[in-house]
Structure 1
């Protein structure tokens, strides 16, 4: 049986709000932000967080409908929210080049890019990995991140610099899990690629970092047939923090890394996982 692909672009996402006790600012007023995989889940939450802090946001993904829902949410919830949906396949260099060009043409530039597009596939032991599923996984998670950075960096270094945040995973450079070797390999590679890109391009004025979330309040944290109460009880026992992370918590970390406050933060991979890898 061919393993099922879990697409992180378009998963429906019940959201839990965590009160961070943070006063909303306007750090990104006048800035232009691109978020790939922006149709739901972590990507949607990040896009909305940037819009709430004043940014114009382009959300990208392979399917138009979930992106449109993100745009409508931004327009409804962010004061003077500006957003546009752009369909693009991050595994295709021409798509990513057009995505960056259209974002800059729509809003007058590109200041921040968040490369969040990803999938989980090729489940099972390494010795049993389906080669086609492996190729798809590498194409989206790793090559997609590379192509996104390549075209984002090209624009930013021609236009005064910018900040890039890649969404990796604590299942990568920091932690392994039986049955997810292929996914873990791609995310470890994303973390390593982020660090090297940061060294390559900081003198170009492009500051690059990553976040590595652990279990967050998305469909990916559920086992088949599990209720929210079941999931919370299981995660309460497994995680040192006693719960899954809130989408506003991962969004806050991404906004920090993209902000002027993190101006001396270069090549980091910030773990947001409730102590799972401590």
Structure 2
């Protein structure tokens, strides 16, 4: 059972067409929020919004490329146009990690990944913060980082660099916006059972049975909803004294 801790709140979630973003959008709706479901994948994104509405929640879909500033600005405005304001946002959109060592990294993919994972997060922060400051009353922004922002993985130079950058962005924005009662935090998932992780396993030739014990003290992959629960808490007033923090949802991976 999910308690209505976001009752009446207006939220947006990027990368919400599948995986952790989908789980977050649906959990927020269960908790009483109105949700803007944002993603490049229009078919899947619309399906997520339809699922929410069919279950008694409130959601609209908006197509966005988070690497494009004008589109991100339009996404935030679409949230306000649909629901009147913005109270919380989860910046989740990201590309699959790269797969070459630093000495051989693919420069084209580096640029693509940085544009989405790092610049895209920065652009979302820019326009979300402007809206929250303009309307007053505070708010909460959650960036989705990764354990790779703390413990680098080999052959992921772009992804590791981007997620370290997301942590820095989170802390900088928190320092700047406490005076506006806007809280900015991050969630750092570990091995979560998403299409992105499954694709990475296939790419590197691993199986869950082989790899899960290396990434989790609990010996299993996490579920997207388990990450969404952390974002739910950060978006709610229950975390009203938390800002500039990163919550690890990683089954202890970064602690050992």
TM-score normalised by L of structure 1 = 0.86
Q: Deviations over 1:216-258 (max 9, x none)?
A: 1112333229999x41453135421111112221111001111
Of 264-273 and 217-226, more deviation after overlay is shown by 217-226
Q: Which residue number in structure 1 is paired with residue 252 of structure 2?
A: 275
Question: What are the ranges of 5 or more consecutive residues in structure 2 without an aligned counterpart?
Answer: none
**Alpha-carbon contact 2:117-2:163 (below 8 Å) kept:** yes
Q: What does 1:253-268 align with in structure 2 at a 5 Å threshold? A: 253-268=230-245
Q: Which residue number in structure 1 is paired with residue 168 of structure 2?
A: 192
Q: Which residue number in structure 2 is paired with residue 155 of structure 1?
A: 131
Match of 2:157 among 165, 178, 181: 181
1:218 correspondence with 2:194 = yes
Quote the RMSD (CA, aligned, Å): 1.8
Q: Which residue number in structure 2 is paired with residue 249 of structure 1?
A: 226
Q: Which residue number in structure 2 is paired with residue 62 of structure 1?
A: 40
Q: Which residue number in structure 2 is paired with residue 10 of structure 1?
A: none
Q: Which residue number in structure 2 is paired with residue 76 of structure 1?
A: 54
Q: Deviations over 1:120-139 (max 9, x none)?
A: 25421111112111111111
**Alpha-carbon contact 1:123-1:179 (below 8 Å) kept:** yes
Deviation at 1:49, TM superposition (A): 0.3
1:24 correspondence with 2:16 = no
Q: Deviations over 1:156-209 (max 9, x none)?
A: 01112210000010111x111111111100001001110111001111121100
TM-score normalised by L of structure 2 = 0.94
What stretches of structure 1 move > 3 A for 4+ residues in a row?
A: 225-228
Give the Cα–Cα distance (whole angstroms) in 1 for the partners of residues 113 and 232 of structure 2: 27
SS of aligned partner of 1:66:
helix
Deviation at 1:75, TM superposition (A): 1.8
Deviation at 1:63, TM superposition (A): 2.1
Gap change, CA 1:202 and 1:126, over 3 Å in 2: same
Q: Deviations over 1:106-128 (max 9, x none)?
A: 01110000000000254211111
**Alpha-carbon contact 1:213-1:250 (below 8 Å) kept:** yes
Question: What are the ranges of 5 or more consecutive residues in structure 1 without an aligned counterpart?
Answer: 1-22
Give the Cα–Cα distance (whole angstroms) in 1 for the partners of residues 197 and 67 of structure 2: 26
Q: How many residues align?
A: 252
